[in-house]
């Protein structure tokens, strides 16, 4: 026997889970309190969870709270009717209790333009690829006609996450992406494209989309992850390119080619630690016939390993407090 730990007989109790003096609807920082006890006098720790579907599924809000109240930042919680759950643990045994339903303030979507880069300079008639997306705490990912692209005068250019155009006028063009959600809220972000008046055919110009690649997987995942990069020549002439990865877990289906082309990525999450972010970089170079680099674009790649949600009765193992006898044979 190397070590042992006594397990107390009585489970903890928790009750009276409620927000203290909540606003209507709840917004900003709110304090959640509860009552808890343990007949054995064990030290208790508490996990706080939030549900927007009447307790069917929960997401983690706070982990390992030591007191009987916690300040919650509700700006990161989806709006509508929500229930808070407090799970008390003495290290082995646990108990839980739910709050009454509260109405939380609806949140606006969060749009972002991934391509092109802000203040990009192009020449008149040059093709520009636009790529954007939006996340929403109520709706999740926003797509389709709830994403609207407009120009400096407010005229609609396109709907959806992507579009391409070679008809931007000479001068400074402010292109705006507006996202709309089911709560009737909207938010916008913009990118500036400066169009020059040099009408000569531009030389080979490397264009890569998307500008970044990311995945999120559960701890212990081993299935390979895949994605593609679109490689184009936004200028004239012929463009040859090379590609490389700086991480062993991220591989490419080819190391060179000519534009246009599609580059396939494969990521192996095996062995990644729980609650970690693993980063890599893909470097793409436009090269001339002698192999000399004309232009370089880097694409960041990341894999997050964690539990984005919390679904009872199965609790993620990284969130348990467990002390057991250890036996070496």
Query: Where does the pLDDT of residue 208 fall: very low under 50, low under 70, confident under 90, or very high at 90 and above?
Result: very high
Cα–Cα distance for residue pair 216/308, rounded to 1 Å? 8
pLDDT surpasses 80 at 64: yes
Residue 34 lies in a domain: yes
Residue 296 shares a structural domain with residue 234:
yes
pLDDT surpasses 90 at 195: yes
Residue 210 lies in a domain: yes
pLDDT surpasses 90 at 20: yes
Least confident among 28-32, 234-238, 270-274: 234-238
The reported pLDDT for the residue numbered 166 is: 93
**Beta carbons within 8 Å of 271's beta carbon, 6+ residues apart:** none
Reported pTM: 0.58
The reported pLDDT for the residue numbered 254 is: 95
DSSP 53: S
Query: Where does the pLDDT of residue 133 fall: very low under 50, low under 70, confident under 90, or very high at 90 and above?
Result: very high
pLDDT surpasses 50 at 128: yes
Residue 69 lies in a domain: yes
Residue 324 lies in a domain: no
What mean pLDDT comes out for the span 280-289?
A: 92
**Beta carbons within 8 Å of 324's beta carbon, 6+ residues apart:** 5
The CATH number given to whatever domain includes residue 67 is 2.60.40.10
Query: Where does the pLDDT of residue 202 fall: very low under 50, low under 70, confident under 90, or very high at 90 and above?
Result: low
What mean pLDDT comes out for the span 170-198?
A: 94
Q: Structural domain of residue 162, as residue ranges?
A: 110-196
Residue 211 shares a structural domain with residue 294:
yes
In 3D space, the residue among 248, 278, 242 whose CA is nearest the CA of residue 263 turns out to be: 242
From 61, 83, 105, the end of a domain falls on 105
pLDDT surpasses 90 at 314: no
Average pLDDT, the chain: 89
From 172, 196, 220, the end of a domain falls on 196
The pair of three-digit structure tokens given for residue 200, joined into one six-digit string: 């000569």
């Amino acid at each position: 026997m190397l070590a042992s730990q006594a397990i107390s007989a009585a489970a903890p109790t928790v009750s009276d889970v409620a927000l203290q003096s909540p606003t209507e609807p709840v917004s900003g920082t709110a304090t959640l309190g509860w009552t808890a006890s343990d007949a054995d006098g064990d030290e208790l720790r508490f996990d706080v969870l939030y549900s927007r579907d009447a307790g069917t599924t929960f997401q983690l809000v706070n982990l390992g709270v030591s007191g009987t109240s916690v300040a919650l930042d509700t700006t990161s919680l989806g709006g509508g009717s929500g229930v808070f759950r407090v799970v008390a643990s003495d290290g082995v045994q646990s108990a839980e209790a739910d709050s009454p339903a509260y109405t939380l303030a609806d949140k606006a979507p969060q749009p972002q333009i991934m391509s092109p880069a802000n203040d990009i300079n192009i020449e008149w008639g040059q093709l520009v690829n636009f790529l954007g997306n939006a996340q929403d705490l109520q709706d999740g990912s926003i797509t389709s006609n709830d994403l609207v692209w407009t120009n400096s005068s407010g005229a609609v250019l396109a709907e959806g996450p992507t579009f391409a155009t070679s008809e931007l006028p000479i001068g400074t063009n402010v292109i705006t992406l507006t996202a709309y959600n089911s709560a009737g809220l909207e938010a916008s972000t913009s990118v500036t494209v400066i169009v020059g008046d040099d009408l000569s055919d531009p030389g080979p110009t490397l264009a890569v989309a998307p500008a970044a690649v990311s995945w999120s997987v559960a701890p212990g995942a081993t299935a390979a992850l895949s994605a593609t990069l679109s490689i184009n020549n936004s200028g004239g002439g012929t463009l040859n390119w090379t590609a490389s990865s700086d991480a062993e877990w991220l591989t490419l289906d080819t190391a060179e080619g000519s534009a246009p082309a599609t580059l396939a990525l494969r990521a192996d999450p095996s062995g990644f630690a729980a609650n970690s972010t693993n980063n890599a970089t893909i470097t793409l170079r436009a090269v001339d016939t002698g192999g000399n680099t004309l232009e370089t674009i880097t694409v960041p790649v990341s894999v997050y390993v964690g539990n984005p949600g919390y679904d009872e009765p199965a609790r993620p193992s990284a969130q348990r407090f467990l002390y057991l006898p250890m036996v070496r044979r």
